[in-house]
Structure 1
Amino acid sequence: MSGLAQIVDSLESKLEKLALKLDRLQQENRELQNGMARSEAVAKKQNEEMALLKQQNESLKMANSLLGSDDNKRETKLKINSLIREIDYCIAQLSD
């Protein structure tokens, strides 16, 4: 009977160790999931900031081209011609 008691004690000991390991792994899993959620939030915020900065950059490029900076003379001329065509189109629509 003592052999059976030893087997049962051994199984109980192993089950306790497994339960502790399971708890530890579940806690680690929760921490990793929380870290992943924080990382995803940071990435989303950075993507939004990047999109905003791209939009601001395009606006600044447009403003520079409209102001006639030396770097963008060709773009400025094209933009002015485009605006003139749009104005002419609007005038034509109003005169009809």
Structure 2
Amino acid sequence: MSNLTEIVDSLESSIGKLLARHEDLSSAKLQLEKEIDDLKVQKLQFEEEIAMWTEKCNSLKLANSLLGSDQHKRETKLKINALIREIDQCIVQLSE
């Protein structure tokens, strides 16, 4: 009978350890899920910031080219030609 008691005690001990481990893992999982959510928000903020800086960089390139910078003359000419074509299309639509 004492052998059966030892087995039951060992089983209770093992179950207690498993439950404690399960609780630890559950709390760690919740913490990691929160960290993932925080990182997703941070990623979106960084992507928005990158887009903003990219737009500012393009604006500065255009401004430099309009000011006579030799680096971006070709880009400026292409942009001006595209704007002229767009204006011409608007004029054609208005005249119809």
Smaller-chain TM-score bracket: 0.7 to 0.9
Q: How does 1:71-90 map to 2 (within 5 A)?
A: 71-83=71-83
RMSD value, Cα: 2.3
Q: Which moved more, 1:57-66 or 1:69-78?
A: 69-78
Give, as a single letter, the amino acid of the residue that structure 2 aligns with 1:10: S
* Amino acid across the alignment from 1:51: A
The answer for unaligned runs of 5 or more in structure 2 is none
Alignment correspondent of 1:65: 65
Task: Give the alignment's TM-score, normalised by structure 2.
Answer: 0.76
Task: Give the aligned residue type for 1:44.
Answer: L
Deviates more, 1:83-92 or 1:66-75: 83-92
TM-score for the superposition, normalised by structure 1 = 0.76
- Return the letter of the residue paired with 1:67: L
Write out per-residue CA displacement over residues 22-51 of structure 1, whole angstroms, 9 at most, x where no aligned residue.
001111111111111111111111011001
State the distance in 2 between where 1:86 and 1:74 align.
18
Which residue of structure 2 lines up, in the alignment, with residue 18 of structure 1? 18
Report deviation, 1:69. Answer: 2.3
For 2:90 and 2:58, how far apart are their aligned partners in 1? 25
Equivalent residues, number: 96
> 2:48 matched to which residue of 1?
48
Bigger CA drift: 62-71 or 4-13?
A: 62-71
- Residues 68, 76 of structure 1: 8 Å contact kept: no
Name the structure with the higher helix share.
1
Q: Which residue of 2 aligns with 1:7?
A: 7
What is residue 38 of structure 1 aligned with on the other side? 38
